[in-house]
């Protein structure tokens, strides 16, 4: 099967910002865009993106999940990067229009249609290293995706890194390209040297997140994760899982967590650790690697609470459970 995110629908929604205003959005071919080689994004990384999904229900209808949250975050990323201000209603319409265009191509569960809104600075101005782009382009790409866990869900090995950082601290809550490039070097090194699947960035012992997913610790009936601050990406999956955990009667604790406490708690057999994000929903962590030692998390295998929470979220997304929090928007 094709790798996640490598197949695209042939058209996308696109709008441009020029002369201080947004153009009308249109549906255009998705195989290319025209960009000046001096475009601001290519030199000074004025770029941000989002990732959300549309789901097919049993009756054939198609629904997007928590679109408002992703649009708000894209608007925030754009603002923090000094990109032109988004017209949030226009973005919503672009998403709904392009998903509707491909409504019949939205895969059945466990597949879905991955939606990738992208906002880039297009002004041809290599002199603007210290000035914002005056023009930009916003497009919404679609990629049908299958079950993320085709190989079977395997618990991940995470390297706990207390010295490095995922990105510059003031960039943590921005979903911007440069942050991922910044985490690649350390990640490739961790893969090669200790066969880690991911790095859990814990600068000065403060447990933050991995390269592209949030981290949550499950200790019996309690779920613990770092409280929102500007140092990390505020995941929609993280917030959804915390809400569902509370619905299920779990204690939700949002606070700082140190590496020391993490390793202490993980030694208990009932403890689970998970990564959360739109692509994989919840992925279990089986092993921490820290200062050349390996620590099993609980049993070292995917646990029952992670499974229960993932199921609760999937059931809402797939229309099998009541959408009590109004997270779905019907597209067609
Ligand atoms: C996208 C992302 C997440 C997960 O966010 P979701 O809204 O749950 O998909 C977490 N951390 C980083 C760094 C991300 O880029």
Name the residue at shortest CA distance from atom 5 of ligand 1: 235
Give which of 308, 302, 305, 2 is closest to 153, Cα–Cα.
302
Residue 150 has pLDDT above 90, yes or no: no
Q: Supply the DSSP symbol for 162.
A: S
The pLDDT-based confidence of 67 (bands split at 50, 70, 90) is very high
The pLDDT-based confidence of 2 (bands split at 50, 70, 90) is confident
Residues enclosing ligand 1, CB less than 6 A? Answer: 51, 175, 209, 212-214, 233, 235-238, 276-278
Asked whether residue 52 is assigned to any structural domain, the reply reads: yes
Judge if 308 and 161 occupy the same domain: yes
Q: What does the pLDDT look like over 121-144, one tens digit per residue?
A: 999 999 999 999 999 999 999 999
Name the residue at shortest CA distance from atom 14 of ligand 1: 212
Distances (CA, A) of 206 to 156, 255, 260: 20, 10, 9
Q: What does the pLDDT look like over 195-232, one tens digit per residue?
A: 999 999 999 999 999 999 999 999 999 999 999 999 99
b/e map 191-224, b = 16+ CB within 10 Å: eeeeebbbbbbbeeebbbbbbbbbbbbbbeeebb
Average pLDDT of the residues in 85-106: 98
The CATH number covering residue 252 comes to 3.20.10.10
The pLDDT-based confidence of 28 (bands split at 50, 70, 90) is very high
Ligand 1 atom with minimal separation from the 236 CA: 7
Length of the chain: 332
Q: Supply the DSSP symbol for 58.
A: T
pLDDT at residue 4, rounded to an integer: 87
Q: 76 or 150, which is more confident? A: 76
Asked whether residue 29 is assigned to any structural domain, the reply reads: yes
Judge if 179 and 283 occupy the same domain: yes
Name the residue at shortest CA distance from atom 15 of ligand 1: 212
Residue 152 has pLDDT above 90, yes or no: no
Distance 174 CA to ligand 1 centre (A): 10
Beta carbons within 10 angstroms of residue 168's beta carbon: 11
Cα angle vertex 154, ends 152, 160, to 5°? 155
Lookup: tokens for 168: 């510059």
| HSE-up of residue 253 (Cα within 13 Å, Cβ side) | 12
Judge if 174 and 109 occupy the same domain: no
pLDDT at residue 217, rounded to an integer: 98
> Among residues of the chain, what percentage have pLDDT more than 90?
95
Distance 178 CA to ligand 1 centre (A): 14
Last residue of a domain, one of 98, 113, 145: 145
Q: How far apart are CA 264 and CA 26, in angstroms?
A: 54
Judge if 162 and 133 occupy the same domain: no
pLDDT at residue 280, rounded to an integer: 84
Q: Is the pTM of this model over 0.85?
A: yes
Residue 149 has pLDDT above 70, yes or no: no
pLDDT at residue 75, rounded to an integer: 98
Range of the domain at 193: 156-317
Residue 69 has pLDDT above 60, yes or no: yes
Distance 124 CA to ligand 1 centre (A): 30
Q: How far apart are CA 99 and CA 56, in angstroms?
A: 11
Q: Which of 2-6, 58-62, 69-73, 250-254 has the lowest mean pLDDT?
A: 2-6
Q: Residue 3 contacts by C-beta under 8 Å, 6 or more apart in sequence?
A: none
Asked whether residue 324 is assigned to any structural domain, the reply reads: no
pLDDT at residue 153, rounded to an integer: 74
Distance 227 CA to ligand 1 centre (A): 15
Distance 179 CA to ligand 1 centre (A): 12
């Amino acid at each position: 099967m094709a790798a996640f995110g490598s197949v695209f629908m042939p058209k996308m929604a696109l709008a441009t910002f020029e002369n201080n205003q947004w153009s009308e959005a249109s549906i255009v071919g998705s195989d290319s865009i025209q960009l000046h080689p001096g475009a601001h994004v290519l030199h000074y990384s004025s770029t941000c993106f989002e990732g959300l999904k549309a789901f097919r229900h049993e009756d054939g209808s198609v629904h997007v999940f928590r679109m408002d949250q992703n649009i708000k975050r894209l608007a925030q990323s754009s603002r923090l990067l000094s990109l032109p201000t988004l017209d949030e209603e226009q973005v919503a319409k672009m998403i709904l229009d392009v998903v509707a265009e491909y409504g019949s191509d939205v895969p059945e569960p466990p597949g879905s249609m991955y939606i990738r809104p992208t906002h880039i600075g297009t002004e041809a101005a290599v002199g603007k290293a210290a000035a914002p782009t005056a023009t930009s382009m916003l497009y919404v790409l679609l990629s049908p995706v299958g079950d993320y866990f085709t190989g079977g869900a395997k618990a991940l090995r995470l390297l706990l890194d207390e010295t490095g950082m995922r990105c510059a601290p003031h960039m943590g809550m921005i979903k911007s390209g440069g942050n991922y490039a910044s985490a690649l070097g350390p990640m490739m090194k961790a893969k090669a040297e200790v066969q880690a699947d991911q790095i859990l960035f814990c600068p000065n012992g403060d447990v933050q997140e991995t390269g592209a997913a949030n981290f949550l610790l499950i200790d019996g009936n309690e779920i613990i994760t770092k409280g929102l601050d500007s140092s990390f990406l505020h995941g929609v999956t993280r917030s959804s899982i915390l809400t569902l955990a509370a619905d299920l009667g779990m204690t939700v604790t949002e606070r700082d967590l140190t590496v020391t406490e993490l390793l202490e708690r993980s030694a208990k057999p009932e403890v689970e650790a998970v990564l959360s994000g739109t692509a994989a929903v919840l992925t279990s962590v089986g092993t921490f690697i820290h200062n050349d030692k390996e620590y099993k998390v609980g049993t070292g295998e995917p646990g029952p609470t992670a499974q229960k929470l993932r199921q609760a979220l999937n059931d809402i997304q797939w229309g099998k459970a009541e959408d009590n929090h109004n997270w779905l928007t019907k597209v067609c």
